[in-house]
Amino acid sequence: MQISESKRLFAHAQNFIPGGVNSPVRAFRAVGGEPLFIKKAEGAFLIDEDGNKFIEMINSWGPMILGHNHPMIKEAVVQAMEDGTSFGAPTAKEVEIAELIVSMVPSVEKVRMVNSGTEATMSAIRVARGYTGRDKFIKMEGHYHGHGDSFLIAAGSGAMTMGNPDSPGVTKGTAKDTLLAPYNDLDAIEKLVAANKGEIAALILEPVPGNMGLCLPKQGYLQGLREICTREGIVLIFDEVMTGFRLAKGGAQELFGVTPDMTTLGKIIGGGMPVGAYGGKKEIMEFVSPAGPVYQAGTLSGNPIAMAAGLAMLNHLNTHPEEYARLNHVGELISDGIMAINKKLGHNFTVNRLGSMYSMFFTDNEVYDFESAKHSDTGKFGKYFQAMLHRGVYLAPSQFESLFLSTALTDELISKILQAHEESMIEIFN
Ligand code: PLP
């Protein structure tokens, strides 16, 4: 594969951008080699600066659920551009998208738009603290809630990949209010709650975590958390930045029938533009300024171009349930295909999947939390990543990420992915 232009750009970028990238995992450090610089994307494909074409398996880390450059979203953006790019004042589109989100996501009675998932989670914790008058919150090991200080403790995603799940720069004072628990372990939560009685404002988690690779909640786990939080007056926050509008139109909370008090959203909600949101029960959201005393603001929040893209995306998903059936089918074909090939080749690697999210871990132990995810052979993953890339399939450049499939993947492309998988596995185990 010829990547001279990407190599040139990467070398040049390092003079001006830390590590040459604007988000760490993009640098490919966990998988070796150098990152590809992307020129354009269309449907199921990414095209790099050297003209190489790749089948997309991460879709901008989740947002592009309908594939890239979808005509309907492009048209909405182009139309919105005609009226100006930012006003810093309320717009009709913001009301429309808020009403739509409230109708789609079970826990959301009121919602505030922000510019990223990070902003959404930071703000949600602040509101939960303001609402309860308590300081501490519980976070699960290996879950990622963006790069807000209080979340960079045993964090998943890039923090885990880069080997610094506890980032320098987070003060001891901040860290002391973040209580850590293993995912999928209700007893651990009971113990933490008992040891910090009346002091915990919130429990935040990815209901279906994708940032230590994809893990699934054990039967009754989310319901159990709901019961503990209700009993203890703790605000239960589902971080559905990844799972929102992906696992179902109402996210994981709809799929599992468990309604949190607050929800954070991102990725798909902006149709590929920088958008996040947090919402929840009216009585909690009424604490947000100017309705209430908890301050949170944003110059570009509710940006009209971003709202137009998000509205087009959400309206489509809301009115086309068949997209979810297709996403599930795509996920099933790929994960079943991978498991069948692995079996034929004598491997028993764990494949976790839900709908259009999946991860293959290079371990045969069950993966259900941070510790079990760490058993994966990341060296093997790096080789697998490169082998797939050279066969034209673009995976997430880290073992500790979920893949995000799109409706643009045709059955023919899925066959190509599976063929690439078989060849790659043979190559790396030879
Ligand atoms: N929460 C979850 C569950 C995420 O997966 C992410 C990003 O991947 C975030 C929050 C942060 O979102 P953003 O990268 O938009 O700040």
Burial class of residue 292, CB neighbours in 10 A (0-12, 13-18, 19+): middle
| Mean pLDDT taken over the chain | 96
pLDDT of residue 349: 97
For residue 116 and ligand 1, the question of a CB distance below 6 A is answered with yes
**pLDDT surpasses 90 at 358:** yes
| Structural domain contains residue 429 | no
Same domain assignment for residues 81 and 62: no
Same domain assignment for residues 100 and 232: yes
Neighbours of 299 (CB within 10 A): 8
Same domain assignment for residues 189 and 55: no
What is the number of the ligand 1 atom nearest to the C-alpha of 211? 5
**pLDDT surpasses 80 at 162:** no
For residue 121 and ligand 1, the question of a CB distance below 6 A is answered with yes
Same domain assignment for residues 266 and 162: yes
By C-alpha distance, which of 194, 278, 203, 197 is closest to 241? 278
SS (H, E, C) the chain: CCCHHHHHHHHHHCCCCHHHCCCHHHHCCCCCCCCCCEEEEEECEEEECCCCEEEECCCCCCCCCCCECCHHHHHHHHHHHCCCCCCCCCCHHHHHHHHHHHHHCCCCCEEEEECCHHHHHHHHHHHHHHHHCCCEEEEECCCCCCCCHHHCCCCCCHHHHCCCCCCCCCCHHHHCCEEEECCCCHHHHHHHHHHCCCCEEEEEECCCCCECECCCCCCCHHHHHHHHHHHHCCEEEEECCCCECCCECCHHHHHHCCCCCEEEECHHHHCCCCCEEEEECHHHHCCECCCCCECCCCCCCCCHHHHHHHHHHHHHHHHCCHHHHHHHHHHHHHHHHHHHHHHHCCCCCEEEEECCEEEEECCCCCCCCHHHHCCCCHHHHHHHHHHHHHCCEECCCCCCCCEECCCCCCHHHHHHHHHHHHHHHHHHCC
| Structural domain contains residue 427 | no
Same domain assignment for residues 14 and 126: no
Q: Provide the pLDDT confidence category of residue 288 given band limits of 50, 70 and 90.
A: very high
Ligand 1, atom 1, residue with closest C-alpha: 145
For residue 112 and ligand 1, the question of a CB distance below 6 A is answered with no
Same domain assignment for residues 93 and 51: no
How far apart CA 105 and CA 108 sit, in angstroms, is 6
Q: What is the pLDDT of residues 81-112, one digit of tens each?
A: 999 999 999 999 999 999 999 999 999 999 99
| Structural domain contains residue 108 | yes
Same domain assignment for residues 278 and 353: no
pLDDT of residue 161: 64
Query: What single letter denotes the amino acid at residue 194?
Result: A
Q: Does this model's pTM top 0.95? A: yes
Structure token digits, residue 370: 């941070």
Domain span at 207: 71-319
CATH number at residue 115: 3.40.640.10
Q: Which residues are catalytic?
A: 144, 239, 267
Same domain assignment for residues 85 and 24: no
For residue 251 and ligand 1, the question of a CB distance below 6 A is answered with no
pLDDT of residue 150: 95
Ligand 1 centroid – CA 273 distance (Å): 14
CATH number at residue 49: 3.90.1150.10
Ligand 1 centroid – CA 415 distance (Å): 31
Q: What is the pLDDT of residues 167-182, one digit of tens each?
A: 889 998 999 999 999 9
Same domain assignment for residues 85 and 197: yes
Q: Provide the pLDDT confidence category of residue 156 given band limits of 50, 70 and 90.
A: confident
Could you tell me the CA-to-CA distances from 205 to 15, 268, 374 in Å, in that order? 37, 19, 19
How far apart CA 343 and CA 331 sit, in angstroms, is 18
Same domain assignment for residues 197 and 294: yes
